[in-house]
Structure 1
Amino acid sequence: MGVIENELKFPRSVWFIICEELCERINYSGIKTVLVLYLTSVLNFSEDDSTVIFHCFIFLSYFMPLIGAILADSYWGKFKTMIRMSIFYLFGNLILTGASMANNFSIHTQRCIAIIALLLIAIGTGGIKPCTYTFGGDQFKLPEQRDQLTRFFKRFVAAISLGALIATFFIPELRKGVHCLGRDTCFPLAFGVLSLVMITATVVFLLGSNLYIKRKPENHVIFRTFGCIFYAIRKKCTSPVSDCAHWLDHAGKKYSQIQISDTKSALEVIHIFIAFPAFWALYGQLGSRWIFQATLMNGKIECIDWEIKPDQMQTIHPLTSLLLILSYNSILSPFLAKFGIRRPIQKLILGCSLAAVAFLLTAVLQYKIFGENAVIPASESQFTVYNGLNCNVQINSSLAGNGTIGSTGYFNFKYKPILNEEIVDIRLTFDSSCKPNTNYGKLDTNVTVAKGKKISYFLTPTLNNEVLLRRINDYDDLRKPKNGYPSLRFIISDDIKKNESFALVINEKKSLLSYNMSSFANEHFKQVKLGNYNLTHGEEVISSNIHFIPATIYTLILNNNSLTMESSLYTTNSGNYLHIFWQLPQYAFIILSDVIFIATAIEFTFTEAPPRIKSFISACYSITQSFGNLLVVFISVLSFKEQMHEYLFFSGLMFADTLLLAYLGYNYKYKAYKQRPNDDAENNENDTKLKANNNEFKQSDSA
């Protein structure tokens, strides 16, 4: 009617939608940020199981948009869909908060409650995803307010990035900065705050109810497109002779040529989507595997006396991504064009290549953290003697050789046995500095050796003032755990009473973490957390600043020399305690990959999809993200013995997927669609035709 855009005000209603999206993103990003640590540290899942649960959660979150789009477009409408899905979302948050507080329940019950909560949250957030920005777009009158609509989308994207930025920085602080329920962390506080944020999101959205333009659901495009595909397949399979140029042409009796043509174009786009899940598989691990890697690293920033939490490293992602997205059209895209990278598929290939490099760097960093694994040749055997005496000991053996063990030291012997297991005679001679126990002159004894094995022995005084060489367990376990935690065994001298109370207490402010030495009574290796510890005997500190680093095997021996408790810490297969900033190179590559790939994928999905079935293509795009997370689940179930090998596998998979994408895109023909003014009328005409022909084809279909 001659209305120009500046006469139409920017709709006030969209501010409620933007605020709702900001709060929802804080909630969802906050849950993703701390979820794997909650699963491992509170619910006691293994890292592999936690990874599976995390990516199943993400899988459902990105599969539900298809259901949400169907409900919004065909049944409830966008407004009702968002409200009803928000109820699922909110209940899931409240249940998750309750599960984190349920200390009185068994661990099995807590796990079940948490899984139910995550299921509700995934249904809620997935159902909302396809509705929020499209509902915001419904508030504008087009084409008169096209520029205002563009500003809305920019603010909407900014709200998403800002929400993720707030969540990834502050929620880990709430998790770690406060101790509650007898733990070193306070997940109830983190989840409780996120629940309040979700309540705020729902209330804010409802406050704008009277201002919204609410369009009635009338678009069955997803059903029509699927119907066209399945009808064509059925007719092709049941038709004995076919003269159709394309298998979709079999649907010509029931669907219009425009619908068939659009479906053909859609399948060409979906053909490119085949390569997308592998990218999402790598991208999704920022919130799972990369956090686990960060738990093995030093986040301390000494100059400001503050520690970067493992899950807080993700803050780099939304912050840098937001800056790159804002400069994408003005800086990044022209820069790529200088190297001939202009077409969407070329940019997608580059994004995939950068993701592969990111995981290659992740594998290299994992190798640096773990160091070398000790491997005993199959033809060789080793035995180690730990000296629990405060004097030097000479060891002589005609078969294994000779050696001297210093006071509270150790010596490692190598021997090549003929049989799989043999007995080796040895003589121990004590020097004059040894205290005058009954048999401290010489000790003739023997040790057992086995091919490809290592066995440890402990030379210890007894309560009867004798000395003996005691075997420690069966064989030494030299394997480093996949999670990279230090392995510790605790050995107490035989002249110390077994009912004495010893503990390892972590030497950190307000920390509650401790290990009672009675749990090491069987002298097996046990996983402990990184950090500085004090060894205590009741209230007395025997030894301070015992430092455990990742991927290292420790033997802690407690002696009672000259009526004074002393401890000695021995290290084998040492790993490295690197600073968390060593993750920055892999973050740089994955962030650059993310910005290039996702920005291009969204553009490709929108511009290459026929105007009438954009919602169908958008739903298929979301499903590629869900399948990517499902891929991580399958690979995690395979359970690689070493995490580095899993990272290398993903890097190789991504390089192969890059080649697949190049192959799929080689003959792809780009399209240029124009929205025609009679599209809606044409769709209505097709619906009428479909209804009119329905009875006609019922009989032939059933036949």
Structure 2
Amino acid sequence: MGRGESEEKSKMEQEPEEDPGFCDKFRGFPKCIGFIVGNEFCERFSFYGMKAILTIYLLEALLFDDSTSTAIYHAFTFGCYFTPILGAIMADSWLGKYWTIVSVSMVYCLGHLIMSLSDLVGPHPYPFLGPSPSGKIPGAMIGLVLIALGTGGIKPCVSAFGGDQFKDGQTKQVQMFFSIFYFAINAGSLISTLVTPLLRDDVQCYGADCFPLAFGVPAILMVVATILFVVGTPFYKRNPPQGNVVVLVSKAIGNAVKNRWNREEGEQREHWMDYCDTTKYEKKLVRDIKFMLHVLYMYIPLPVFWALFDQQGSRWTLQAYRMNYDLGPLGKMKPDQIQFVNPALILILIPIFEGVIYPILDKCKIPNRPLQRMCAGMTFAAGAFVVAGFIQIALQNTYPQPPAAGYSGLRIINMADCELTATFDPPFTGDNPPAFDAIAYKGEQKLYNVPKGNHTIDFTCNGKNPLNNYPVDMGDQEFNTVIITEKNGTLHAPPQFHTDWDKPDKADPKMRVIFMLDPDTIGNNVTVRIENKAVPTQVNHDFDVEMETATEYVVKEPGDFNVRLQYVNNTKADQDELVGTFSTEHGGGYTVVVYNDGTENMVESYIDAEPSSMSILYQIPQYFIITTGEVLFSVTGLDFSYSQAPKSMKSVLQAAWLLTVAFGNVIVLIVAEARLIEDQAIEFFMFAGLMGAVVIIFAIMAYFYTYNEIPKDDEEMEEMGKSNGDIENGKVRNGVDNPALSPDGPIYEDVLAGDTSYITQL
């Protein structure tokens, strides 16, 4: 905040004035504010829209595994919260806020454009899977780097530039501007996390998710954001660069460290910053740095909270990815859409806490100081990960389990028009020998406790000529399928088919086709086509038929599929025959059998791995708990930082606050890349335990923390040695209340100095 605004605020505090009406707060609004707010809405839409689908993109399009996808996601997030320092230095020391926003926005747009176009790069050896990932990875990584530079570069500039447009004395207008600015951020975030996953999933490109469109729309919004900002140029008030306080503070600290290292033997000073050369740096600056360092000490444990919080877009999205998206009459939710719950709850919970919960705590005389609230927020974050861990255990319990060691699984499918019985020869022995029930026509039966090794089976079927001594080779913990048909009144079966009992690596269902047709009837040159029933031209896969063989598993979007036989160069030349349809669900594995029932060709599908059954709505409690923790921790933490910092150090503490977010993401990156924990539920509990340990440490630190007493008016202090009595009426013991985001709170005004961190998490 500029000196003029500071003096005006001081006068207003001494001489209360009547609060103007709602409409009066808009009088005297600069004409350019609409361009700045529109720019922020579009930029936040572009950023959070791209980030919402990023994990799914890394997993599905670039074919990274869970741990690598998580590591890349958090490396990107680290960049987004580290680069604001560079943007602030560029704006304050070199280009000024306006040209920093314009130039960095162009880099931002380029990054989005590369992300969108990179998904179109590469050969298409498997059209049903989309472009080859090998050609897309370099472009995607370059795009992410440029986007991180772009969003970080403008983060400390846009809101401060908006505040620069107001005149001295426009306190209420400034407050209204930041309320609108805050709403624009949340609106952009909320809408984009709902819309972008729809563009990804509901539109097909190459028969798969349409990432070029899903990244393209945020790219367009970022271009619109840049154009909006540039169009307002004639109306802007632009202040020249005046030097960056982060750089100045860094130099002063470096000077103090150097002088302390080179001090004379036996020389001792009260604080190590007292070694700073006061001929080069003002005493007031040294004093303010001491205040700042006192606050920074409390920042040491904070990255762990962000390590948990930012996993909403990585590990929690991957958890949602393997759940059931069906919401019944409400339709289906995309796994990356669930993230919208956080900004939606933020808008609900902040006024509840500010207007209801905190006042009740005050009336009940329950300790309610900022560090206590932050400690409570950390506790909620740990609780959210405990809940996430139990949800993960329940989810993993729905996964199919392999047969026990020493055993294997066997499925028999009856495609003979009679009731089939099967007898193992010799019979199984042991405490629980497996036994087959009679299997109806087109039915199946599965056994999971068949001893490994070689066996023979006798099949009989209502007077049909039996099939005796059918050999099966059961490997350890394998699963095999036997299909029984009939030829000329005799039971018949090709060799067993190995079957994948586990779920697909990705969330989309996997399927394979087994052809049980007679080549004497349909010929040898036949292609089987699987196509999306709703859009046949978009999702298809062609198999060159080899009778009584199984194809490899292929991955497709869930839905309804047609199966067509296409005859080439035989008696049924150029005939395209629809033989049937089948359906797949999210997370399932399927075997599709093409057979003849004696009169016509038909299709029957069988489940190899059960589709996802646990509803995505089970994640709502963990989102509610961690969002509650965010309100207690993030909003209160920013208020604590604001109230405990001298005016000259507010932007430095903002930079430090953003760095805690950045380094929190480094923690997740290290854990993901180390791959020391294979079980995701255990990893969630590990993070909860880490957060619990940090809560204890932070609580001890908070207990011994002495709140800074910041002079109300720094100009009143002409000497560092003034006693408390000299300035007793000029001091205020800050940090008791939490005025953050309230209409009359001081946090709005000081965003003029670049303090926008209270909204960067949304």
Normalising by the smaller structure, the TM-score range is 0.7 to 0.9
Preserved contact between residue 122 and residue 135 of structure 2 (Cα < 8 Å): no
Q: Distance in 2 between matches of 1:260 and 1:623?
A: 22
Compared with structure 1, are the counterparts of its residues 567 and 229 closer, same or farther at alpha carbon in structure 2 (3 Å cutoff)?
Answer: same
Runs of 5+ consecutive residues of structure 1 not aligned to the other structure: 417-421, 684-703
Give the AA of the match of 1:310: P
Preserved contact between residue 292 and residue 483 of structure 1 (Cα < 8 Å): no
1:133 Cα shift? 1.4
Preserved contact between residue 92 and residue 119 of structure 1 (Cα < 8 Å): yes
1:272 lines up with 2:298 in the alignment: yes
Compared with structure 1, are the counterparts of its residues 679 and 501 closer, same or farther at alpha carbon in structure 2 (3 Å cutoff)?
Answer: farther
Deviations 1:652-684 (A, max 9, x none): 33333322322332211122323535399999x
Preserved contact between residue 66 and residue 619 of structure 1 (Cα < 8 Å): yes
Q: Distance in 1 between matches of 2:202 and 2:479?
A: 43
Preserved contact between residue 612 and residue 679 of structure 1 (Cα < 8 Å): no
Preserved contact between residue 395 and residue 402 of structure 1 (Cα < 8 Å): no
Preserved contact between residue 561 and residue 583 of structure 2 (Cα < 8 Å): yes
1:635 lines up with 2:659 in the alignment: no
Give the AA of the match of 2:102: I
Compared with structure 1, are the counterparts of its residues 515 and 592 closer, same or farther at alpha carbon in structure 2 (3 Å cutoff)?
Answer: farther
1:163 lines up with 2:185 in the alignment: no
Q: How does 1:115-134 map to 2 (within 5 A)?
A: 115-134=141-160
Aligned to 1:686: none
Structure 1 stretch displaced more, 512-521 or 84-93: 512-521
Aligned to 1:694: none
Aligned to 1:419: none
User: Which residue of the other structure, out of 415, 424, 445, is the alignment partner of 1:395?
Assistant: 424
Give TM-score, length-normalised by structure 2: 0.77
The alignment partner of 2:708 has SS state of coil
1:213 lines up with 2:232 in the alignment: no
Aligned to 2:44: 25
User: Which residue of the other structure, out of 346, 367, 388, is the alignment partner of 1:362?
Assistant: 388
Aligned to 1:291: 317
Q: Distance in 2 between matches of 1:226 and 1:353?
A: 33
Structure 1 stretch displaced more, 591-600 or 570-579: 570-579
Structure 1 stretch displaced more, 45-54 or 511-520: 511-520
Preserved contact between residue 461 and residue 494 of structure 1 (Cα < 8 Å): no
The alignment partner of 2:182 has SS state of helix
Preserved contact between residue 47 and residue 483 of structure 1 (Cα < 8 Å): no
Compared with structure 1, are the counterparts of its residues 434 and 103 closer, same or farther at alpha carbon in structure 2 (3 Å cutoff)?
Answer: farther
Give the AA of the match of 1:188: P
Deviations 1:324-365 (A, max 9, x none): 334442224224544825111111122222222223333333
Structure 1 stretch displaced more, 121-130 or 181-190: 181-190
Aligned to 1:583: 619
1:225 Cα shift? 1.6
Q: Distance in 2 between matches of 1:659 and 1:575?
A: 42
Deviations 1:406-433 (A, max 9, x none): 34534536467xxxxx75554x333253
Q: Distance in 2 between matches of 1:441 and 1:44?
A: 45
Compared with structure 1, are the counterparts of its residues 235 and 540 closer, same or farther at alpha carbon in structure 2 (3 Å cutoff)?
Answer: farther
Structure 1 stretch displaced more, 653-662 or 487-496: 487-496
Give the AA of the match of 1:192: G
The alignment partner of 1:637 has SS state of helix
1:202 lines up with 2:202 in the alignment: no
Aligned to 2:136: 110
Give the AA of the match of 2:273: L
Preserved contact between residue 558 and residue 567 of structure 1 (Cα < 8 Å): yes
Aligned to 1:693: none
Give the AA of the match of 1:214: R
1:37 lines up with 2:63 in the alignment: no
Compared with structure 1, are the counterparts of its residues 141 and 559 closer, same or farther at alpha carbon in structure 2 (3 Å cutoff)?
Answer: same
Aligned to 1:86: 105
Preserved contact between residue 74 and residue 217 of structure 1 (Cα < 8 Å): yes
Preserved contact between residue 462 and residue 495 of structure 1 (Cα < 8 Å): no
1:106 Cα shift? 5.6
Q: How does 1:387-536 map to 2 (within 5 A)?
A: 387=413, 390=416, 391-398=420-427, 400=429, 403-404=435-436, 406-407=438-439, 409-412=444-447, 414=449, 423-424=453-454, 426=456, 428-431=457-460, 433=462, 435-436=464-465, 440=466, 442-443=468-469, 445=471, 447-448=473-474, 450=476, 453-454=477-478, 456=480, 458=482, 467=492, 470-473=495-498, 480=503, 483=506, 490-493=513-516, 500-507=526-533, 512-516=538-542, 529-536=557-564
**Bigger fraction of residues in helix:** 1
Aligned to 2:573: none
Compared with structure 1, are the counterparts of its residues 283 and 225 closer, same or farther at alpha carbon in structure 2 (3 Å cutoff)?
Answer: same
Preserved contact between residue 75 and residue 217 of structure 1 (Cα < 8 Å): yes
Runs of 5+ consecutive residues of structure 2 not aligned to the other structure: 124-130, 567-575, 721-762
Q: Distance in 1 between matches of 2:595 and 2:146?
A: 55
1:221 Cα shift? 1.9
Give the AA of the match of 1:324: L
The alignment partner of 1:75 has SS state of helix
Deviations 1:204-229 (A, max 9, x none): 22233233332222234212222233
Give the AA of the match of 2:200: R
Compared with structure 1, are the counterparts of its residues 339 and 679 closer, same or farther at alpha carbon in structure 2 (3 Å cutoff)?
Answer: closer
Q: Distance in 1 between matches of 2:116 and 2:72?
A: 17
Deviations 1:375-416 (A, max 9, x none): 5554x4235252556232222325545733634534536467
Q: How does 1:183-198 map to 2 (within 5 A)?
A: 183-198=207-222
Aligned length in residues: 665
Structure 1 stretch displaced more, 603-612 or 441-450: 441-450
Q: How does 1:301-320 map to 2 (within 5 A)?
A: 301-303=327-329, 306-320=331-345
Preserved contact between residue 55 and residue 633 of structure 1 (Cα < 8 Å): yes
1:127 Cα shift? 0.7
1:40 Cα shift? 3.3
Q: Distance in 1 between matches of 2:167 and 2:175?
A: 12
The alignment partner of 1:200 has SS state of helix
Give the AA of the match of 1:406: A
Preserved contact between residue 19 and residue 201 of structure 1 (Cα < 8 Å): yes
Q: Distance in 1 between matches of 2:79 and 2:57?
A: 19
Deviations 1:479-510 (A, max 9, x none): 55665555656555596788643455455567
Compared with structure 1, are the counterparts of its residues 57 and 460 closer, same or farther at alpha carbon in structure 2 (3 Å cutoff)?
Answer: same
Compared with structure 1, are the counterparts of its residues 387 and 246 closer, same or farther at alpha carbon in structure 2 (3 Å cutoff)?
Answer: same
Structure 1 stretch displaced more, 391-400 or 627-636: 391-400
Structure 1 stretch displaced more, 68-77 or 144-153: 144-153
Give the AA of the match of 1:124: G
Preserved contact between residue 457 and residue 470 of structure 1 (Cα < 8 Å): no
Preserved contact between residue 584 and residue 590 of structure 2 (Cα < 8 Å): no
Q: Distance in 2 between matches of 1:137 and 1:658?
A: 36
Deviations 1:105-163 (A, max 9, x none): 86333221222222212111111001111222222344x22232222221111111111
Deviations 1:574-608 (A, max 9, x none): 46423333332222222222222221122112111
Q: Distance in 2 between matches of 1:413 and 1:193?
A: 49
User: Which residue of the other structure, out of 661, 670, 683, is the alignment partner of 1:625?
Assistant: 661
The alignment partner of 1:76 has SS state of helix
Deviations 1:53-100 (A, max 9, x none): 222222111111011111112222212211211121122223333324
Aligned to 1:597: 633
Percent identical residues: 28
Aligned to 1:73: 92
1:18 Cα shift? 1.9
Q: Distance in 2 between matches of 1:292 and 1:166?
A: 21
Compared with structure 1, are the counterparts of its residues 519 and 18 closer, same or farther at alpha carbon in structure 2 (3 Å cutoff)?
Answer: farther
Compared with structure 1, are the counterparts of its residues 579 and 479 closer, same or farther at alpha carbon in structure 2 (3 Å cutoff)?
Answer: closer
Q: Distance in 1 between matches of 2:37 and 2:140?
A: 29
Q: Distance in 1 between matches of 2:35 and 2:301?
A: 37
The alignment partner of 1:603 has SS state of helix
1:33 Cα shift? 2.0
Aligned to 1:259: 285
Q: Distance in 2 between matches of 1:267 and 1:641?
A: 39
Q: Distance in 2 between matches of 1:281 and 1:534?
A: 46
Deviations 1:541-595 (A, max 9, x none): 5554444453x55555555564655666555664642333333222222222222
The alignment partner of 1:406 has SS state of coil
1:647 lines up with 2:684 in the alignment: yes
Give the AA of the match of 1:246: H
Aligned to 2:709: 672
